Structure 1
Amino acid sequence: MNLNADFEQRVVLHTATARWQDSPQPGVQRIPLDRVGDEVARATSLVRFIPGSSFPEHVHGGGEEILVLDGVFSDESGDYPAGSYLRNPPGSRHTPGSAEGCTLLVKLWQFAPDDHTELRLDTRRLPWHSAGEVEGLALLSLHEHGSEQVALLRLQPGTRCQAQSFPGGEELFVLEGGLSDEAGDYPAGTWLRNPRGSRYRRHSAEGALLYVKTGHIGAPTCWDAAGDGARPAGRLRPACPQQG
């Protein structure tokens, strides 16, 4: 299955009106955002656990990145409320679930081959910093590796940003509020993926909270390094359907 698999194309999805799809695991649904592959895939998805649902223990051959959007997500390492940011590196294993239910932004098989960073961050407790010289713009850095940068951005109401170029592409999810640029308006729940070389001038009338990843479009990943023959077999195959 390929979905939004041409990374040289701009993609805008309004997930608030998208239909949730049942995953192979009972009690877990998802909204695919982009996907290359079948059940084992390089994928970006919204994933929803109904209360009391879980996955069997499984291995993430290509790594997993999670942002908890609501509820509480859990595995053997702890309980992670909304605002938690997790990175499970390639080869890691866990048994994920949620007693009260949760919604996640999940990215699979997108770690750089030499990135083995494991993270458990509670963004509610981390400091924000001013972002450059733009009044009303604050940044909370989550992860950096090579050209890849992951952060939360907060725009106060009325913030207007200077034009910004993205030579390594950009991915953005509107967590709260609304964002606008020359191409349109993006309410909460909007997911955007902009190709390499994009350039936009952003502003927010009402204020916004954003998840932003830059510098990663077209960069090598574990998916590329594994090759078609390695992905579905042997130690790289998860013991159950992957949650993304």
Structure 2
Amino acid sequence: MKIAADFSKRVVVHSEKLEWVASPIAGVHRRPLDRVGDEVARATSIVRYAPGSEFSPHVHTGGEEFLVLDGVFQDEHGDYPVGSYIRNPPQSKHKPGSQGGCVIFVKLWQFQPQDRQHVCLHTKKMQGVTHPQFNNVSVISLYKDNFEEVSLLHFKPNADM
């Protein structure tokens, strides 16, 4: 399966207009934003967990990172409320779910194979800095290495891009 798979082209996606697609796990649905592959894929998705839903334990061979958008995401490592940014490197494993339901933004399989850096941040407790080039845009740095830089950008009304 390929969805917005040509990363050399700019794509604008209005995620709220996309249909929810059932995953192989009951109560877990996705809105795919990009995807290269079938169930195990390089993918970016909005994922919705119904209350009480959970995946079975699994290894993220290519790594995963996610931002909690609504509710509380949970696994055996902790509870992650809205604003939590989690970076699980390749070979990490967990049993994800949500007792009360949640929505997350998740990216899979974009890590360098040798990467082993785990990150857990609570972005609601972090202060952004003013973007050096654009008015009314603030930046929260989440992760940076020699291959990638991950940031959360907040656009105020009338942001000058």
Return the alpha-carbon distance in structure 1 between the equivalents of residues 158 and 14 of structure 2: 23
TM-score w.r.t. length of structure 2: 0.94
Residue 154 (structure 1) shift? 2.0
- Aligned residue in 2 for 1:95: 95
1:1-244 aligned within 5 A: 1-132=1-132, 134-160=134-160, 202=161
Query: d(CA) in 2 for partners of 1:87 and 1:60?
Result: 11
Name the structure, 1 or 2, with higher relative contact order (CA <8 Å, separation 6+).
1
* 3-state SS in 2 of match to 1:124: helix
Cα separation, partners in 2 of 1:147 and 1:91, compared to 1, 3 Å = closer
Aligned-partner Cα distance in 1 for 2:37–2:137: 37
Q: 1:108 to 1:134 in 2, by over 3 A?
A: closer
Aligned residue for 2:107, secondary structure, equals strand
Which 5+ residue runs of structure 1 have no aligned equivalent? 161-201, 203-244
Superposed CA RMSD in Å reads: 1.3
Distance in 1 separating the partners of 2:135 and 2:13? 28
Question: Counterpart amino acid of 1:151?
Answer: S
Distance in 1 separating the partners of 2:86 and 2:109: 14
Q: Distance in 2 between matches of 1:154 and 1:35?
A: 25
Is the contact between residue 115 and residue 145 of structure 1 (CA under 8 Å) also seen in structure 2?
no
After superposition, give the CA deviation of every residue in 1:181-203 in whole Å (9 maximum; x if it has no partner). Answer: xxxxxxxxxxxxxxxxxxxxx2x
TM-score by length of structure 1 reads 0.63
Read off the aligned partner of 2:60 and give its amino acid letter: H
Structure label with greater radius of gyration: 1
Q: For 2:12, what is the secondary structure of its paired residue? A: strand
- Cα distance in structure 1, aligned partners of 2:78 and 2:138: 29
Amino acid at match of 2:106: V
Cα shift at 1:133: 5.5
> Unaligned stretches of 5+ in structure 2?
none
Q: Is the contact made by 1:83 and 1:124 (CA closer than 8 Å) also made in structure 2?
A: yes
Contact 1:49 1:97 in 2 (8 A): yes
Give the secondary-structure state (helix, strand or coil) at the position aligned to 1:159: coil
2:9 is paired with a residue whose SS is coil
Could you list the per-position Cα deviations for residues 207-242 of structure 1 after superposition, in whole angstroms to 9, with x for gaps in the alignment?
Answer: xxxxxxxxxxxxxxxxxxxxxxxxxxxxxxxxxxxx
Q: How many residues get paired?
A: 161
